[in-house]
């Protein structure tokens, strides 16, 4: 099954997937402490706010390549890096599941909308779905917040995730405007 999934992608697309996974992991240690400054006094887990910005890389990969499975592969690579290297934010083997679920949810969304080209609303929804699913799963496993704080946390996560999705859309829009995506499209990426 994994081999069939990977065979759907060109070498260039695999490199983009690896880059998005790495950028997602690399930005997390910078973003989370900054988010804690805002969320700490409100008793909201910092990952709910910060998640929109590091989940953005999953959505960006989805938009760059435009194929079902991209988000799952990005999340899978992230989970392997976190678990095997003990990178920031690891909770042992449970991290494998908390990292991979957002990618699976985004790919399920892609299956439902059946598109290869996405509008800003698709990016917004994909960002929301990635961040809410990750936030909810982390809450379920670790925090176990009562209902009212959980609703506040998920609301914050949806806003942050949506903003991250829109940032991804604007990055892709800027890359298209400057013809920077021509190589990706020519090498087997999504069509115009």
* Structure tokens given for 99: 């990292």
* Structure tokens that stand for 146 in this block: 């009562």
- In 12-130 the beta strands, taken as DSSP E runs, fall at none
Which residues sit opposite 46 in a β-bridge?
none
Quick: pLDDT tens for 71-122. Answer: 999 999 999 988 888 765 557 778 888 889 999 999 999 999 987 678 999 9
> Residues 51, 123, 133, 146: is their CA dihedral positive or negative?
positive
Q: What is the pTM of this model?
A: 0.86
In angstroms, the CA 46 to CA 51 distance is: 8
CA distance 1 to 76: 14
Which is nearest to 68 in space by CA: 108, 19, 124, 24?
A: 108
Our CA angle for 36, 166, 118, nearest 5°, is 145
CA atoms within a 13 Å half-sphere pointing along the CA-CB vector of 72: 16
Nearest to 130 by CA among 104, 150, 149: 104
* Cα–Cα dist 116/130, whole Å: 18
**Bigger pLDDT: 27 or 48?**
27
Could you read off the pLDDT of 173-188 as tens digits, one per residue?
999 888 877 765 554 4
Region 24-39: what's the mean pLDDT?
83
Query: End-to-end CA distance of the chain, in Å?
Result: 29
> In the prediction, which pLDDT does 183 show?
60
More confident residue, 139 or 60: 60
The answer to whether the Cα torsion of 111, 114, 164, 28 is positive or negative is positive
């Amino acid at each position: 099954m994994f081999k069939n999934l990977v065979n759907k992608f060109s070498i260039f697309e695999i490199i983009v997937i690896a880059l998005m996974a790495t950028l997602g992991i690399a930005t997390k240690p910078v973003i989370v402490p900054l988010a804690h400054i805002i969320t700490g006094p409100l008793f909201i887990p910092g990952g709910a706010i910060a998640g929109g910005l590091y989940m953005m890389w999953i959505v960006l990969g989805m938009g760059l390549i435009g194929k079902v499975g991209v988000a799952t592969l990005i999340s899978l690579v992230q989970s392997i890096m976190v678990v095997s290297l003990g990178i920031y934010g690891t909770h042992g083997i449970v991290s494998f599941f908390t990292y991979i679920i957002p990618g699976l949810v985004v790919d399920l969304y892609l299956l439902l909308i059946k598109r290869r080209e996405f509008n800003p609303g698709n990016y917004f929804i994909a960002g929301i779905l990635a961040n809410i699913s990750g936030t909810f799963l982390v809450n379920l496993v670790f925090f176990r917040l009562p209902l009212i704080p959980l609703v506040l946390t998920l609301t914050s996560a949806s806003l942050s995730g949506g903003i991250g999705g829109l940032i991804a859309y604007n990055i892709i829009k800027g890359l298209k405007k400057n013809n920077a995506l021509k190589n990706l499209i020519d090498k087997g990426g999504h069509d115009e």
